Amino acid sequence: MSRGRGGRAANQLRIIGGRWRGRKLAFPDLPGLRPTGDRVRETLFNWLAPIIEGSRCLDLFAGSGALGLEAASRGAARVVMVDRAVVVVRRLEAHRALLGAEAVEPLAMEAQAFLARPPEPFQVVFLDPPFGAGLLEPSCRALAAGGWLAPGAMVYLECERALGEPRLPEGWRLHRAKQAGEVAYFLAIAP
């Protein structure tokens, strides 16, 4: 098995907090699939600490599952994890079974197709689309227009650092912003 940064096995993530803290989970080896790093996740979940327990979360570009599984580990009541790659969703389903994560619901579909469905409001949304795909701002607009956000919902946005601050839908406000290496990440609050 190849090794990634820090000697950790490649294509493996570690849940950093909550009831599954320290659990290591493998994810498929697909081009562009990159979990949100441990330090970024630690910062993000410190930001979300006051609201994550009992919340309804949407992980719109689930990929490795790092964000959605971390939310479930920390007590989210429901975590819908959407990804277009069937192999990714099968792995997320296997993680759900392994962890007994009944709050987790993996779905195999395109993000835009999911957002075209009848909406349900979420308190937390994770938006970490594939880099270079131009999906961050259209996804924000679809969330804002479609009834997907509970009042005061928090939306996490992750993108290439070179893109700078994303344009937010009307009424959203930027609450937090940080950078780590080539990644920029933000927490916005919806009206």
Please write the tens of the pLDDT for every residue from 38-89.
899 999 999 999 999 999 999 999 999 999 999 999 999 999 999 999 999 9
Q: For residue range 131-149, list pLDDT tens digits in order.
A: 888 899 999 999 999 899 9
More confident residue, 134 or 9: 134
Q: Which domains does the chain have, with CATH numbers?
A: 5-189 (3.40.50.150)
Helix-helix angle 66-73:38-48, to 10 degrees: 50
This prediction has a pTM of 0.92
| Half-sphere exposure (Cβ direction) of 91: Cα atoms closer than 13 Å | 21
What whole-number distance in Å separates Cα of residue 81 and Cα of residue 61?
7
Token couple for 168: 């937010």
Give the E-state strand segments of the chain in sequence order. Answer: 12-14, 24-26, 56-59, 78-83, 104-108, 122-127, 149-160, 173-180, 183-189
